Structure 1
Amino acid sequence: MRTPLALTGNHHQDGQADLKLSLQQPQPPPQRVVALRHNRRNPRQVLPQGKSPTIPPPFPWATNHRAIVHSLKHLADSGINVISGDVQCKRCNRQYQIEHDVKAKFLEISCYVKENKYKLKDRAPQSWLYPTLPNCKYCAQENCVKPIMAQNKKSINWLFLLLGQMLGCCTLAQLKYFCKHTRNHRTGAKDRVLFLTYLGLCKQLEPNGPFDRL
């Protein structure tokens, strides 16, 4: 007659063997979850339904695309050497126009960008963020003539603001509008978006110049 103890011992040994066998069986490798990388460059701007991809050029130096100006070569070939913009004095409230020589003003800005691009690290300097404004030709007050901004963003005089180094007078929303329609990354603080606006306009004027982002 078999004793219950013998049965228990054999059952225990068989259980250990089964456990050992199961531990030795290879486990399937864990599945790797591959994270999708998002492209930093924005996709081509999709306009709301009913909006045309082109607009009537707001200025002779502007194209029929939002926030895009003509190149220096096109301006020179068209005989456009001077551009103008509307300004208003913050003291006497007089409104008038200021003219900029295209080549001379762009040379000044482009030289600064070329020399300081790597130092700036995608951030606009204080002189761009808080530009020194022209003096009023009527009341002679200093640093008081601001550009008159068009209420409709598609009519902003971008080239005038660039050559006068007054893009810092734009609101963050206006700067984001420029970056939106020129396929630039448009998040972040104003100094970053302003830097991209300066760089983007310089690139439009001189497409082969060293104005690409780092």
Structure 2
Amino acid sequence: MRPPLAVSGIDGQTDLKLSLQQPQPQPQPQRVMALPLRPSRRNPRQILPQGKSPTIQPPFPWATNHRATIHTLKHLAETGINVVSGDVQCKRCNRQYQIEHDVKSKFLEVSCYVKENKYKLNDRAPASWLNPLLPNCRYCGQENCVKPIMAQNKKSINWLFLLLGQMLGCCTLAQLKYFCKHTRNHRTGAKDRVLFLTYLGLCKQLEPNGPFDR
């Protein structure tokens, strides 16, 4: 038998109440959209192309095993390196030979000029650096005609020789940017700006505690 219905009378009217349980809607699972992963930001200057080692065979006794990096003056003195040499070629007679620079005296010339004029230059190399006065040829006697011979491989550039002879302006913009890239320097802009940073960077390598910061 069916159970009796609940009957209640209100003001003479009959109110039938049926207790029915309505099914509750099931919650729908929320869809979470997966955001694309952002590649981690890494300094491109610290990433070498695949297959390149972070260290190299030092191309010169005064160079370290890191690209575009030379030893300090203290290290050079302690190891008895007082003179550096570099290959040059006359633009007139095409003779090739070597020139030597005294490290102490030549660096004194460069460093004194930098210390006295660093803030006047406004981060730009002067004309004497951009178009350096070249040595005279010891064979044909032609003036201002002996240029440094640049290594085809940038890692073998004789940076210290170029600095002491104030011939860094003979480098191409690409070669100067190579130096700035591997010495953690800003390397965009015109050649006079990148050349200025190269001079400061090499002076800083020779004398780390010197006033050669920008």
Q: TM-score range by the shorter chain?
A: 0.7 to 0.9
Report the TM-score when normalising by structure 1: 0.79
Distance 2:109 2:142 in 1: 25
Distance 1:150 1:49 in 2: 22
Render the CA deviation track for 1:71-99: whole Å, top value 9, x for unaligned: 00000000000000000000000000000
Residue in structure 1 matched with residue 81 of structure 2 by the alignment:
80
1:183 and 2:184 are equivalent in the alignment: yes
Maintained 8 Å contact 1:200/1:211: yes
Structure 1 gaps of 5+ residues are 1-41
After the TM superposition, list the runs of 4 or more consecutive aligned residues in structure 1 that deviate by more than 4 angstroms: none
Residue 127 of structure 1 aligns to a residue whose secondary structure is helix
| Matched letter for residue 130 of structure 1 | N
Distance 1:155 1:43 in 2: 22
| Matched letter for residue 151 of structure 1 | Q
Residue in structure 2 matched with residue 12 of structure 1 by the alignment:
none
1:2-21 alignment runs, 5 A limit: none
Question: How many residues of Structure 1 are paired with residues of Structure 2 in the alignment?
Answer: 172
Please provide the CA RMSD for this pair: 0.8
Distance 1:43 1:172 in 2: 19
Maintained 8 Å contact 1:43/1:183: no
Maintained 8 Å contact 1:88/1:96: yes
User: How far 1:43 sits from its partner (Å)?
Assistant: 6.3
Q: Which has the larger radius of gyration?
A: 2
Residue in structure 1 matched with residue 109 of structure 2 by the alignment:
108
Distance 2:46 2:97 in 1: 35
1:114-153 alignment runs, 5 A limit: 114-153=115-154
Residue 119 of structure 2 aligns to a residue whose secondary structure is helix
Residue in structure 1 matched with residue 20 of structure 2 by the alignment:
none
1:167-182 alignment runs, 5 A limit: 167-182=168-183
Distance 1:160 1:110 in 2: 14
User: How far 1:50 sits from its partner (Å)?
Assistant: 1.3
Residue 120 of structure 1 aligns to a residue whose secondary structure is coil
User: How far 1:129 sits from its partner (Å)?
Assistant: 0.2
Render the CA deviation track for 1:5-35: whole Å, top value 9, x for unaligned: xxxxxxxxxxxxxxxxxxxxxxxxxxxxxxx
Maintained 8 Å contact 1:89/1:144: yes
Maintained 8 Å contact 2:45/2:181: no
Residue 46 of structure 2 aligns to a residue whose secondary structure is coil
Q: Relative CO higher for 1 or 2, CA cutoff 8 Å, sep ≥ 6?
A: 1
Report the TM-score when normalising by structure 2: 0.79
Distance 1:144 1:153 in 2: 23
User: How far 1:164 sits from its partner (Å)?
Assistant: 0.2
| Matched letter for residue 182 of structure 2 | H
Distance 1:118 1:181 in 2: 25
Distance 2:191 2:111 in 1: 21
